[in-house]
Amino acid sequence: MSTITIKAYGATASTEDLKPLNIERRQVGQDDVKIDITYCGVCHSDIHTVRNDWKGSKYPVVPGHEIIGRVVEVGNGVSNFKVGDLVGVGCMVDSCHTCSACQQDLEQFCENGATFTYNSPNKHIPGTQTYGGYSTSVVVDKQFVLRVPENLDEAATAPLLCAGITTWSPLSHWKVKKGDKVGVIGLGGLGHMGVKFANALGAHVVMITTSPEKGEDAKKLGAHDVLISKNQEGMKKHQGSFDFLLNTIPVGHDMDPYLALLKIDATMVLVGAVEPLKPFHGGSIIMGRKRIAGSLIGGIKETQEMLDFCGKHNITSDIELINMQDINSAYERVTSNDVKYRFVIDMQSLKN
Ligand code: NAP
Ligand code: ZN
């Protein structure tokens, strides 16, 4: 199949910095939408993949799954998008559409394997893997393109495509409601969206953080209270009081201190630690009939619902806009816990 060559940024090995690369994109097919990328968010998963933390990374890795842009071309079979539309692409670009997961609008769990936006086998250009949004354009199946409300700030909308849906989905699945006491663990890209959403749903939101200096920001973002997880007195005071915990810690950790915060029958959802966790004490969940659950992004239908909710309630991310050339220092800052609260790349910087 014929392809076009475009500019991108990626890593050629787990120990290498990201650098300019040329990559191939497929030509627009019958059901495809071609998007000129204007902004792309920087997710901690991008870093995990570049550094091969989860194993199985294929190089070059071109990350980026918080993509915002304008439609520049559509295939003959596309009637729901037109040139000029403001659109987004999140963590997935394809799935089988026929398995029971896809039928339930849970494409992220496609039984035949969802095609993720980067580092998945590329069905259209065999022998290569998918390349993400650290690039000037992308060609995506119309069913994986999201409509972005025009009233929202374009750059600040990018992180909704991953950080947004990843925190929205568990809050929605576990039916967090007005008056619930909700703890969001970890104030980074995901955590700051979790605080905003839990607040918008009417919950009493407690930011649970290792960083006392983030306390004031947490309150500006919508937290009603701040709990420093290293402070044992404070942790004891909140013991047995939470209806729901959203845990965004990006690495394996000891869950026992957090489980102690849950009420009877309450749930802690893990989204961050996609790796072995430290052993936890069975008594931590047996006492109080508590639950630990997991969650992976969200389906396409749910992602659209989240974006529409954000449009209605004027919710976006708090971002630091960077040029593509600044990406390596941004990665250092994310891993050293110094991001307020999501980096977004201005893709114009790659086009110049
Ligand atoms: P991030 O911006 O780096 O935020 C993570 C936050 O966790 C940090 O700001 C820090 O907050 C806290 N933290 C970091 N190290 C910690 C430690 N050792 N112990 C306790 N707290 C710690 O990362 P992110 O982009 O929000 O992503 C979070 C994780 O979710 C990553 O692992 C990412 O790969 C994963 N993820 C999962 C999904 C999914 O679908 N399940 C989707 C996207 C991302 P404080 O300073 O407040 O403590
Ligand atoms: Zn992500």
Give residue limits of the domains in the chain. 3-162+316-351, 163-294
| Per-residue pLDDT at 156 | 98
**Which top CATH class is 163-294?**
alpha beta
By DSSP bridging, strand 67-74 and strand 86-89 are antiparallel
Which pTM was predicted? 0.97
Residue nearest to atom 1 of ligand 1 (CA): 188
| Topology match between the domains 3-162+316-351 and 163-294 | no
Ligand 1 atom nearest to CA at 108: 40
Give the number of the atom of ligand 1 that is nearest the alpha carbon of residue 208.
47
- Tens-digit pLDDT profile for residues 18-71: 999 999 999 999 999 999 999 999 999 999 999 999 999 999 999 999 999 999
Q: Which residues pair with 7 in a beta bridge?
A: 22
User: What is the distance in A from the centroid of ligand 1 to the CA of 81?
Assistant: 34
Nearest CA to ligand 1 atom 2: 188
* CB-CB contact of 89 with 117 (8 Å): yes
pLDDT band at 352 (very low <50, low <70, confident <90, very high): confident
pLDDT at 332: 98
Mean pLDDT, residues 265-274 taken together: 97
**Ligand positioned closest to the Cα atom of 228:** 1
Average pLDDT, the chain: 97
Q: What is the token pair recorded at 157?
A: 């909308």
**64 CB near ligand 1 (under 6 Å):** no
- Sign (positive/negative) of CA torsion 187, 134, 119, 29? positive
Tell me how far CA of residue 183 lies from CA of 66, 156, 167, 245, 269, in angstroms. 25, 24, 12, 5, 11
Residue-wise pLDDT for 164-193, tens only, equals: 999 999 999 999 999 999 999 999 999 999
d(CA 107, CA 347): 28
Residue nearest to atom 25 of ligand 1 (CA): 44
| Position 189, amino acid | G
pLDDT of residue 215: 95
Band (pLDDT 50/70/90 cuts) for residue 74 is: very high
- 294-309 average pLDDT score: 98
| Closest protein CA for atom 34 of ligand 1 | 45
CB of 165 sitting under 6 A from ligand 1: no
pLDDT at 99 over 80: yes
CA 138 from chain center: how many Å? 18
Pick from 55, 45, 112, 111: nearest CA to 251:
45
Closest CA to 258 of 222, 234, 275: 234
pLDDT digits (tens, 9 = 90+) for 210-246: 999 999 999 999 999 999 999 999 999 999 999 999 9
Burial 54-70 (b: 16+ CB within 10 A, else e): eeebeebbbbbbbbbbb
In this structure, whether the domain defined by 3-162+316-351 belongs to CATH 3.10.20.520 is answered with: no
Is the pLDDT assigned to residue 1 strictly greater than 90?
A: no
Total residue count of the chain as it appears in this document = 352
